[in-house]
Amino acid sequence: MSNSSSTWLRLFSRIRCFLFFKTSSSSSAKTQSSDHYPFDKSSDIMKNNNNYDQKEKEEDSLIITLHRSVKNLHFGNSEEKESAAKEMKILARHNPKMRRSMVELGVIPPLVAMLGSEQVLSRRKLAVQVLLELANGIYTNKAQMVEAGILSKIPESVEELDLTTSNEFAELLLSISSLAHCQFPNLTASRTIPFLVSILKSNSIPIETKELCLAALYNLSTLLKNARDLITDGVANVLVQFSFVKETSEKALAILGNLVATVSGNKAMENNPTVPESFIEILTWEDQPKCQELAVYILMILAHQSPIHRLKMVKAGIVPVLLGVALLGSPLAQKRASKMLQWFKDERQVRMGPHSGPQMGGSCIAIGSPMNPREASEGKKMMRMLVKQSLCKNMETIVRRAGEAQVSSSYKTMNVYSSSKSFPY
């Protein structure tokens, strides 16, 4: 009896082990990949639990640090506020989820107040760094900064800042200027434009910082109501100077294109002594097609709205330059240049019409008047000769600027197989 009972016990234990092994193997087969390599399930579970506990500890530590920093920023002394700003800069830079939490805890108003602390430049620098991290890609944070009066805390001049802080202020203003179409206040009561202009006029600021300022000004110029404030602060004259620098020409011309569409912007262009000669010079930049498109657009607006500018353009020799753009420019530049050439052609025909100019009496006939057939014929011959000479000169200039062998060879081939009679004019 004892032997049989022991046998049953051994059999029962084997069945139980078999069932346990089968159950564990089936459950592990669901979680394993197709390789079916054995692994220690208990050790894996313990590892996951340890990782989860470690993450919880890290999150708890971050939350504790955040609450301590927010408390010190609101109620601490000057040293505690500076230390809190340093901690917030690290949290906002390395943990994007913390940015919204910080704003919900109300850190923007005290940071904006620190931004205006002109006596302690280190606090101002810390404040702009934290605000720059908080404004990174979050629209509501930027809107709250504007509501907290950040634009009135901007320094009026760049002279009191170092190069790094100036660049950070420019980045912050560029980020906030994206609100120009919605929640951006009136520029008259802010220091934004004077600060940006002071950076652009400074000789010690690098070109990268100036490009940030130009991008911010472009965002502001897209709203027509800001045009008067931009013109009043002398932005137009500074932009005309930057349009000559090829690194910044495209951005400067884009802003001028927005401003020239307004009455105040057009008047500012009229009063500038370098206009339109400066833009005509930009039309000759064959290696900058975008600059050519923007320059010819500005010239179109000026020529359409001001007869003074049309007269200046003709005296400055715009017609042959437009002809070169119409032949070798980008498709958009060609279209705009052809349109302007048509305007000058129509205006010239109107000036030379029989109804224009002083009317002579029957006995007093002016030299070259159409009423004298012989002199009219000679005048036409002379005009054809001048047109032919001008065309040849323009074609030589275009081929020289192209600077490519294919263009030169095609021009020679055209001279061999084509005569001047093949041209319609």
Q: Per residue in 387-400, pLDDT tens?
A: 666 666 666 666 66
Asked whether residue 10 is assigned to any structural domain, the reply reads no
The residue among 233, 267, 301 that closes a domain is 267
Structure confidence at residue 398 (pLDDT) = 64
Structure confidence at residue 131 (pLDDT) = 93
Please indicate, yes or no, whether residues 186 and 278 belong to a single structural domain of this protein.
no
Q: What percent of the chain shows pLDDT beyond 70?
A: 64
User: Residue 36 — left, alpha, or beta (φ > 0 → left; ψ -120 to 50 → alpha)?
Assistant: left
Asked whether residue 201 is assigned to any structural domain, the reply reads yes
- Decide which of 50 and 189 is more confident: 189
Mean pLDDT of 7-12: 47
Please indicate, yes or no, whether residues 278 and 255 belong to a single structural domain of this protein.
no
Q: Which of 219, 122, 236 has its CA nearest to residue 170? A: 219
Structure confidence at residue 285 (pLDDT) = 93
- Decide which of 27 and 341 is more confident: 341
Please indicate, yes or no, whether residues 164 and 240 belong to a single structural domain of this protein.
yes
**pLDDT of residue 380 exceeding 70:** no
CB 295 within 8 A of CB 283: yes
Structure tokens at 176: 């906030």
Please indicate, yes or no, whether residues 318 and 244 belong to a single structural domain of this protein.
no
Which of 119-133, 184-198, 325-339, 347-361 is least confident? 347-361
**pLDDT of residue 27 exceeding 50:** no
- Read out DSSP for 351-410? HTSTTSSPPP-SS---TT-TTSHHHHHHHHHHHHHHHHHHHHHHHHHHHHHH--HHHHHH
The residue among 119, 153, 187 that closes a domain is 153
Please indicate, yes or no, whether residues 96 and 123 belong to a single structural domain of this protein.
yes
Q: What percent of the chain shows pLDDT beyond 90?
A: 28
Structure confidence at residue 128 (pLDDT) = 92
If you count them, how many residues does the chain have?
Answer: 425
Please indicate, yes or no, whether residues 173 and 196 belong to a single structural domain of this protein.
yes
Amino acid identity, position 274:
T
Tens-place pLDDT, residues 140-193 = 888 889 888 888 888 877 887 889 999 999 999 999 988 866 656 667 667 888
Which of 87-101, 183-197, 285-299 is least confident? 183-197
Distance CA 260, CA 306 (A): 12
Domain enclosing residue 196, as ranges: 156-267
Which sign does the torsion angle of CA 116, 117, 121, 126 carry?
Answer: negative
- Kindly indicate the confidence band of residue 299, based on its pLDDT and cuts at 50, 70 and 90: very high
Which range, 92-96, 147-151, 202-206, 367-371, is most confident? 202-206
Mean pLDDT of 337-351: 80
Structure confidence at residue 26 (pLDDT) = 45
Asked whether residue 361 is assigned to any structural domain, the reply reads no
Please indicate, yes or no, whether residues 69 and 117 belong to a single structural domain of this protein.
yes
Structure confidence at residue 101 (pLDDT) = 82
Which range, 167-176, 225-234, 268-277, is most confident? 167-176
- Read out DSSP for 2-17? HHHHHHHHHHHHHHHH
Please indicate, yes or no, whether residues 171 and 114 belong to a single structural domain of this protein.
no
**pLDDT of residue 104 exceeding 90:** no
Distance CA 104, CA 106 (A): 5
Structure tokens at 229: 């404030």
Structure confidence at residue 267 (pLDDT) = 87
Query: Average per-residue pLDDT in the chain?
Result: 75
CB 146 within 8 A of CB 176: yes
Number of domains in the chain: 3
The residue among 326, 350, 374 that closes a domain is 350
**pLDDT of residue 7 exceeding 90:** no
**pLDDT of residue 353 exceeding 80:** no
Distance CA 111, CA 88 (A): 11
Structure confidence at residue 15 (pLDDT) = 46
What CATH number corresponds to the domain at position 131?
1.25.10.10
CB atoms within 10 A of CB 60: 10
Mean pLDDT of 67-78: 86
CB atoms within 10 A of CB 252: 25
Structure tokens at 52: 């989860």
Asked whether residue 15 is assigned to any structural domain, the reply reads no
Distance CA 91, CA 104 (A): 15
Asked whether residue 333 is assigned to any structural domain, the reply reads yes
Please indicate, yes or no, whether residues 312 and 286 belong to a single structural domain of this protein.
yes
Structure confidence at residue 308 (pLDDT) = 80
Q: Which of 332, 287, 320, 344 has its CA nearest to residue 396? A: 320
